[in-house]
């Protein structure tokens, strides 16, 4: 396992991290086994969120880490509505103070290594959010602050806000990134490098598409996200089906599986510090870790670029958020809406 520092200011972590959104897919006992196996394999970054299972994933993760908490960099996120309640969401100081204590209790720990705003909150001034993060760091409840799915301009604004008010800046940004979701290459990643912000890639296999589980003429696996009705993973996506065939050939030419190609691709970008894998079972974790030592040649990366060009999101819905400038309130005069 390779290790690196998250940007210039973050903690040192394994380049593969454990994402836990689907960790309860095979039950609580399997989740405990999976977490311990990941740690034994050298994964030191474990990422979760309060909204996963409305707190249940944090609770299970806290139990699984008993006796091993100090061996990992524990990251969690806040900001999306808990139990669908929009009053328990966002990046306001009031909600952050409450949310961090809730997460600490569920995770059975007295500090969070990396605390991240799950999505931008246009209703809260960024100065307030940055100041609240700094307050939590001073209190010892949080070691580092980070963002998730921020645009390039929002990353700059958060860095400026920290400088303006004398607070500690965000150390990390967590972005969707895969061969099928390359929008971050347009501006986000270069902005992160300029401001020495470490990038954590999530969904590096695009919801299972880059494992090859969805293929032309094959039945959709019963336990897949597509079979569950996930609107962002449609197994009938003809564009992605055709691209998977072409990418599978590239992987085979390189002596790799499609999964290995997909995971190694994310770590080949100089802005990416770590990439999150999200297995549901211990067996899936073993399969994913086969990509740990893979490094792609320039020729292979060029072949990938010829299939999905740099900066392209094959399905724009996979970008994780709507650009702020496209929100109704940003592109229409409020006094005229509904008039």
pLDDT above 70 coverage of the chain, percent: 92
Q: How far apart are CA 70 and CA 206, in angstroms?
A: 31
Where does the pLDDT of residue 235 fall: very low under 50, low under 70, confident under 90, or very high at 90 and above?
low
Contact 273, 200 (CB under 8 A): yes
| CA 145, chain centre distance (Å) | 14
Identify the pLDDT of residue 309. Answer: 98
Pairing between strand 112-117 and 73-78?
Answer: parallel
Cα–Cα distances (Å) from 328 to 79, 322, 323, in that order, read 21, 11, 11
Q: Supply φ then ψ for residue 231, to 5 degrees.
A: -70, -15
Selection from 217, 170, 198 nearest residue 269 by Cα: 198
Query: How is the chain split into domains, by residue range?
Result: 3-336
List, in sequence order, every beta strand (DSSP E) within 172-295.
Answer: 172-176, 198-202, 272-277
Average pLDDT, stretch 5-32? 96
Q: Choose, from 52, 115, 177, 214, the residue flagged as catalytic.
A: 52
| CA dihedral sign of residues 109, 111, 113, 115 | positive
Contact 148, 119 (CB under 8 A): yes
Contact 90, 78 (CB under 8 A): no
Contact 69, 109 (CB under 8 A): yes
Identify the pLDDT of residue 223. Answer: 62
Contact 296, 265 (CB under 8 A): yes
pLDDT of 277 over the 90 cut: yes
pLDDT above 90 coverage of the chain, percent: 86
Angle between helices 298-307 and 258-267 (to 10 degrees): 100
pLDDT of 230 over the 90 cut: no
For the beta carbon of residue 111, count every other beta carbon within 10 angstroms: 18
Identify the pLDDT of residue 96. Answer: 98
Identify the pLDDT of residue 215. Answer: 75
Residue 297, Cβ density class (10 Å: 0-12 exposed, 13-18 middle, ≥19 buried): exposed
Residue 73, Cβ density class (10 Å: 0-12 exposed, 13-18 middle, ≥19 buried): buried
pLDDT of 338 over the 70 cut: no
Contact 243, 212 (CB under 8 A): no
Selection from 280, 318, 226 nearest residue 22 by Cα: 280
pLDDT of 226 over the 60 cut: no
What Rg value do the Cα atoms of the chain yield, rounded?
20
Q: Supply φ then ψ for residue 17, to 5 degrees.
A: -120, 160
Note the CATH number of domain 3-336. Answer: 3.20.20.100
Where does the pLDDT of residue 81 fall: very low under 50, low under 70, confident under 90, or very high at 90 and above?
very high
Tell me, yes or no, if 52 is annotated catalytic: yes
Q: How far apart are CA 78 and CA 124, in angstroms?
A: 14
Place of tokens 């802005």: 271
- E strand or H helix at 98, and its extent? helix 93-107
User: For the segment 110-138, what is each residue's pLDDT rounded down to a tens digit?
Assistant: 999 999 999 999 999 999 999 999 999 99
Considering the chain, what is the average pLDDT of its residues?
A: 93
Selection from 96, 198, 173, 105 nearest residue 137 by Cα: 96
Identify the pLDDT of residue 89. Answer: 96
| CA dihedral sign of residues 146, 125, 55, 188 | negative
User: For the segment 193-213, what is each residue's pLDDT rounded down to a tens digit?
Assistant: 999 999 999 999 999 999 998
């Amino acid at each position: 396992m390779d290790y690196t520092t998250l940007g210039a200011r973050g903690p040192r972590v394994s380049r593969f991290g454990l994402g836990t959104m689907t960790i309860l897919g095979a039950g609580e006992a399997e989740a405990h086994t999976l977490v311990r196996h990941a740690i034994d394999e050298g994964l030191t970054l474990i990422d979760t969120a309060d909204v996963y299972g409305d707190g249940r994933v944090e609770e299970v993760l806290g139990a699984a880490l008993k006796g091993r908490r100090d061996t990992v960099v524990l990251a969690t996120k806040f900001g999306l509505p808990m139990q669908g309640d929009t009053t328990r969401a966002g990046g306001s100081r009031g909600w952050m103070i409450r949310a961090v204590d809730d997460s600490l209790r569920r995770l059975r720990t007295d500090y969070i290594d990396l605390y991240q705003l799950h999505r931008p909150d246009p209703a809260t001034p960024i100065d307030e959010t940055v100041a609240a993060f700094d307050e939590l760091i001073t209190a010892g409840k949080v070691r580092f602050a980070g963002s998730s799915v921020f645009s390039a301009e929002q990353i700059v604004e958060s860095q400026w806000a920290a400088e303006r008010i004398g607070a500690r800046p965000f150390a990390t940004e967590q972005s969707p990134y895969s061969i099928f979701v390359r929008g971050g290459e347009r501006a986000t990643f270069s902005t992160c490098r300029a401001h020495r912000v470490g990038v954590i890639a999530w969904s590096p296999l695009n919801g299972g598409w880059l494992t090859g589980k969805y293929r032309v003429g094959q039945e959709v696996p019963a336990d897949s996200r597509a079979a569950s009705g996930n609107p962002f993973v449609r197994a009938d996506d003809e564009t992605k089906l055709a691209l998977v065939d072409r990418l599978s050939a590239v992987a085979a030419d390189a002596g790799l599986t499609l999964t290995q190609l997909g995971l190694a691709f994310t770590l080949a970008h100089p802005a990416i510090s770590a990439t999150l894998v999200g297995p549901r079972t211990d067996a899936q974790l073993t399969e994913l870790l086969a990509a740990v030592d893979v490094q792609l040649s320039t020729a292979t990366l060029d072949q990938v670029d010829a299939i999905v060009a740099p900066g392209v999101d094959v399905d724009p819905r996979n970008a994780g958020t709507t650009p702020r400038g496209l929100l109704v309130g940003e592109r229409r005069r409020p006094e005229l809406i509904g008039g």
